[in-house]
Chain A
């Protein structure tokens, strides 16, 4: 997982698989960010070719952690597999999803 900062926005770039193996580490990383007052987070799924229900759970936990502290989290560049998964689990109604990273980064309210 790589972390990038663009101004006030933090971007987490996930690896090839966001699954039960890495979900706990992902959740912990975002939890720490929320505790350190990160308010604008984009999860860039461009490299992720496989996400499972544990990965979805980690994303839900993460958005909750951000919202609890008054922050926002967006999803960028999901693969076709991720989009299918979000639709099947109705998470496409929970997350704000962008096909373009720059648009996701620029979308946060001031």
Chain B
């Protein structure tokens, strides 16, 4: 796989789609030899995708409003990128603190995990109500 491979899908934000989407993304990532060669990398990226989807489910559309989400997976020559675009409630990722081992809560680890596993975490909320999360992992020779 030498050229960039980009797949974009639009999905309703429903919990029952979590596992099918995870499986789809994992199988897609396995098309890149540099990813397929590392079970750990595949696990980490699957986790990141899972957390990003759940973040939209739990927070962007938390009031139960049916929302849609645009998901794009980009396998470039030297990077993997996930793009999540929603029209729900925005949030400020800088307000989310690291997990506290002395007082572990039941929630709030998703953003931390995404930041730990990826090289770039870019979140932007537009005035037209669209939120875009870009998660980028640099992977040398991904496209070969």
Q: A residues touching B (Cβ–Cβ < 8 Å)?
A: 17, 19-21, 50, 52-54, 56-58, 60-61, 80-81, 84-85, 88-91, 93-94
Q: Are A81 and B110 in contact (CB under 8 A)?
A: no
With both beta carbons as reference points, the residue of chain A lying nearest to B106 in the complex is identified as: A57
Interface size on B, residues (CB 8 A): 28
How many whole Å from A23's CB to the nearest CB in chain B? Answer: 9
Interface of B is mostly: helix
> Can you name 15 A-B pairs with beta carbons within 8 Å?
A20-B15, A21-B15, A50-B47, A52-B47, A57-B105, A60-B104, A60-B105, A61-B106, A80-B39, A80-B40, A84-B43, A89-B112, A90-B98, A91-B101, A93-B101
Q: How many A-B residue pairs have CB under 8 A?
A: 68
Q: B residues touching A (Cβ–Cβ < 8 Å)?
A: 15, 18-19, 22, 39-40, 43-44, 46-47, 50-51, 54, 57, 98-101, 104-107, 109-110, 112-113, 116-117
Cα distance, A57 to B39, chains bound together (Å): 24
Chain B residues lying within 8 Å of A57, measured Cβ to Cβ, are: 105-107, 109
Q: Are A17 and B19 in contact (CB under 8 A)?
A: yes
Chain A residues lying within 8 Å of B43, measured Cβ to Cβ, are: 50, 80-81, 84
Q: Which of B47, B98, B105, B107 has the most CB of A within 10 A?
A: B47
Interface of A is mostly: helix
Cα distance, A94 to B40, chains bound together (Å): 23
Q: Are A89 and B18 in contact (CB under 8 A)?
A: no
When the two chains form the complex, which single residue of B22, B44, B50 contacts A84, counting CB atoms closer than 8 Å?
Answer: B44
Chain B residues lying within 8 Å of A53, measured Cβ to Cβ, are: 51, 54, 107, 109-110, 113
